[in-house]
Amino acid sequence: MTQYLSNLWIALEAVMSNKLRSLLTGLGIIFGVAAVISMLAIGSGAQEEILEQIELVGVNNIVVEPVIEQTEEDLQDGDDQKKEEKNFSAGLTLLDIQSIEKIVPGVKSLSPEILIETSLIKDGRKRSAKLVGVNNSYFDVANFDLWRGRHFSQTQLDFGGPVCIIGKGVQAKFFSQEDPIGKRIKVGKHWLKVVGVLKERFISQKSISNLGIRDYNMDVYAPINTVLTRYKNRSLVTEALLKRYQRLDEDEREENPNYHQIDRLVVQVEATEQLTGVAEVISKLLKRRHFGTVDYEITIPELLLKQQQRTKSIFNFVLGAIAGISLLVGGIGIMNIMLASVMERIKEIGLRLSIGAKKKDIVFQFLFEAVMISVSGGLIGVMLGVAIALAISSLADINTIIRFYSILIAFGVAAGVGIVFGITPARRAASQDPIVSLRHE
Q: What would the pLDDT profile of 25-45 be if each residue is shown by its tens digit?
A: 777 788 888 888 888 888 777
Residues 125 and 49 grouped into a single domain: no
Q: List Cα–Cα distances, 40 to 51, 93, 316, 400, in angstroms.
A: 16, 47, 7, 9
Helix or strand (DSSP H, E) at 435: helix 434-439
Which residues 6+ apart lie within 8 Å of 177 measured at CB?
Answer: none
Residues 163 and 278 grouped into a single domain: yes
Are the CB atoms for 131 and 118 separated by under 8 Å?
Answer: yes
Q: What are 144-163's pLDDT values in tens digits?
A: 889 999 999 999 999 999 99
What is the 8-class DSSP label of residue 87? P
Helices 359-395 and 2-17: crossing angle in degrees, nearest 10, is 60
Residue 185 falls inside a structural domain: yes
Residues 278 and 322 grouped into a single domain: no
Residues 204 and 286 grouped into a single domain: yes
Residues 354 and 402 grouped into a single domain: yes
> Residue 96: pLDDT above 50?
yes
**Overall number of domains in the chain:** 2
Residue 411 falls inside a structural domain: yes
Q: Where a domain ends, among 265, 295, 325? A: 295
Residue 302 falls inside a structural domain: no
> Residue 53: pLDDT above 90?
no
More confident residue, 15 or 386: 386
Residues 291 and 319 grouped into a single domain: no
Q: Tell me the pLDDT of the chain averaged across its residues.
A: 78
Residues 108 and 244 grouped into a single domain: yes
Are the CB atoms for 170 and 220 separated by under 8 Å?
Answer: yes
Residues 334 and 359 grouped into a single domain: yes
Residues 72 and 209 grouped into a single domain: yes
Instruction: Name the band, by pLDDT with cuts 50, 70 and 90, for residue 358.
Output: confident
Which residues 6+ apart lie within 8 Å of 278 measured at CB?
Answer: 62, 104, 105, 106, 107, 267, 269
Residue 301 falls inside a structural domain: no
Domain containing residue 68: 59-295
> Alpha helix locations (H) across 345-403?
346-354, 359-395
Q: Where a domain ends, among 274, 295, 316? A: 295
Residues 255 and 331 grouped into a single domain: no
Please state the rounded mean pLDDT for residues 387-398: 83
Instruction: Name the band, by pLDDT with cuts 50, 70 and 90, for residue 70.
Output: low
> How do 190-198 and 163-166 pair as beta strands?
parallel
Instruction: Name the band, by pLDDT with cuts 50, 70 and 90, for residue 83.
Output: very low
Give the pLDDT confidence score for residue 399 in this predicted structure: 76
Q: Where a domain ends, among 252, 272, 295? A: 295
Residues 161 and 178 grouped into a single domain: yes
Residues 42 and 63 grouped into a single domain: no
Q: What are 201-257's pLDDT values in tens digits?
A: 876 655 555 555 677 888 999 999 999 999 988 877 666 655 665 665 555 455 557
